[in-house]
Amino acid sequence: MARERIVIGLNGSDDAELLIRRAARILERTDGGELVAVHVRTTGGTAGESPQVLEAQRRLVNDLGGTYHTVSATDPAPALLDYARKSSATHIVVGQSRRGPLAGVLAGLFAGGTVEARVVRGAGDVDVQVVPRVPPQRNAPRRRPDLGRTRVAIGFALAAALPALLQLLLAAFDHSVATAVLIQLAGAVAVALVGGLWPAVVGALWSSVLVNYFSTPPLADLAISDPQDLLSLAVFVGVSVAVAGVVDGSARRSKEAARAQAEAATLGDLALGASRSEDTLDGILAEALDVFGATGAGVFSCREGTAQGSGPTSGPSGVRGADGRIWSLVAAAGDTAGWEHGVTGLPGSTAEPVDADTRLVLFGRDVPSGESRLLGAFAVHVKAQLERRQLAVSRREVLRLAEGNSMRTAILRAVSHDLRTPLAGIKLAAGGLLQRTVTYTPAEERELLETIDECSDRLDQLVGNLLDMSRITADSVRPLLGPVRWSEVVAPALRGLPDGTVRVELPANMPTVEADPVLLDRVIANIVENAVKYAPGSGITITGASDGMGAATLDGYPSGELRIIDHGAGVPAGKVLEMFQPFQRLHDRPQATGVGLGLAVADGFVRAMGGTLTAQETPGGGLTMVIRLALSTGSPGARHAAGQPRQEAT
């Protein structure tokens, strides 16, 4: 049995949801099928379309499992029928025309009937269902495209002055009534070009009075003696009004075309930026400032859990609007001062709905109705960017959970093998000492005790690194930043190492850096231990720049550097990034040497303190680890308390 395929004819009106849901109910009564929504866009219907409404229709169709298509045509009925035949549709759902009785009669005389009537006649064996539409609101008449108040005012002034000037010109020579009518008709056309229809109608009536008084016998009298002159004046008024209407329509269409061309260019830029993933929310708002000439633009939301905005006042707190809802600023560009008094109804501003809980507000500009469609397109792009932010947050959360799962798996693996090795050593040595049937010499007892001590130290280090890595992965490291001197943390970090293993050559004048001394101690200890492990006997040196300052900066702040240099085998360039990953061992070293968390923990702690840890090749062979931290300003945590973001070194 063939699957049902229902084609829904849409014209961009706001009641399309009724047609879509009616088609979905028809599809539910069948054994399954396909829902296809077709938006037939005509040249005369684009002005009344709302981008938000179209986007909502598209989303509704997609949510119902259907597909949404757009076709352009001069006549919607043949276009819809042609699409239905090409897609092998079994049903067509269209809405009933909203035209009044007179418009329906005229459509039947000149166009062969209404759209739905022609679809029914031409559908053939395809079932057609006509859905009654919601009656239009009488209090919201469709406005004609506005030529501008200034232009209309100039048109009325011209309608008053130009006929009089033309009549003065006619008074300079003998002329007939026909000549006067033709010259005044040219004036009516000029008035229509400038001010539109109504100034031209006023001008035509005023011209007819002047021609009657000054050019139609008897002169200087409004009476007309010759019936032909009366007919000439009547024809003149009718022709003037008709020509004025045509010229007015042409002028308005030209203005609409210019506006549509500008809108198309702007929408093209937005679409191009979206396809390249260049459209950020701040970028869209900045472009809105240029397009609409506003002083500021902001996106406001009253939803819980909104993605953090970049505006200076965005955050969990907000402002209670006139509707009783709490609005907060998500993103802003330009001057948005005054929004604290509410989001909607601000004088000299325009609020465009993005969705039920979000508004796009332009400050310092009352957007006219002719630009509302373009503003709606910006609102659609804002909604897309907000959804992209939410997807990015969800993606980061998923990645964090995946990393957490990987970390837990690796920790379990480490516990199952790496932690059992020192535990086995402790168990074996302690069990030997507890054997009463075995007598040990003092040297043997000391060796067993040293084994217990060494294995306990290894176990403590392993557990410490595992716990530290878990804190870093969970983003729960909260450093206590303050002024720290390098020399204060280097000596404690080298405790337990044999004398002469590491050579310390720190300049005496190294300035203080912003760091947590406990975390920095662990960082240096882990790096030095890694160098001792992988470059034994090569000579390890800890040094700093001669003035204690690094060549790079952090967030524009001067930084201090500490260099830990070894002369071992070094690390291949392709392995440098992997070196900082958890559970990585160079050259597949055996697990008895550790679980491969030392550098990962060190890198995580340095980043938590707002610094960077990088690896460089040592001249002559080996590896140089460079710790960069911002220089201290003197007060504990001043740099981070100021809300400075943490960035990579530049």
At 99-138, the pLDDT tens digits run 655 555 555 555 567 888 888 888 888 899 888 866 555 4
pLDDT digits (tens, 9 = 90+) for 182-196: 888 888 888 887 887
Contact 9, 95 (CB under 8 A): yes
3-state secondary structure of 448: helix
40-74 burial, b at 16+ Cβ within 10 Å, e below that, comes to bbeeeeeeebbbbbbbbbbebbeeeebebbeeeee
What is the pLDDT at residue 607? 87
Residue 266 has pLDDT above 90, yes or no: no
What is the pLDDT at residue 627? 92
Quote the CA–CA distance of 334 and 363 in Å, as a whole number.
Answer: 9
> What pTM, to 2 d.p., does this model score?
0.47
Q: Mind listing the domains of the chain with CATH numbers? A: 4-131 (3.40.50.620), 149-252 (no CATH), 281-394 (3.30.450), 418-473 (no CATH), 482-641 (3.30.565.10)
Q: Which residues, other chains included, contact 648 with Cβ-Cβ below 8 Å and sequence gap of 6+?
A: 612
Residue 594 has pLDDT above 60, yes or no: no
Highest mean pLDDT pick, 123-127, 272-276, 423-427:
123-127
Quote the CA–CA distance of 128 and 240 in Å, as a whole number.
Answer: 46
Average pLDDT over residues 236-258: 75
pLDDT digits (tens, 9 = 90+) for 48-74: 677 778 888 888 998 888 999 888 888
Average pLDDT over residues 159-168: 89
Q: Is the peptide bond before 218 cis (omega within 30 degrees of 0)?
A: yes
pLDDT digits (tens, 9 = 90+) for 490-547: 988 888 788 888 999 988 888 888 998 888 988 898 899 888 888 888 889 999 875 5
Which two structure tokens, joined as six digits, stand for 370? 């002719």
Q: How far is CA 509 from CA 80, 258, 487, 545, 549, in A?
A: 82, 69, 11, 10, 10
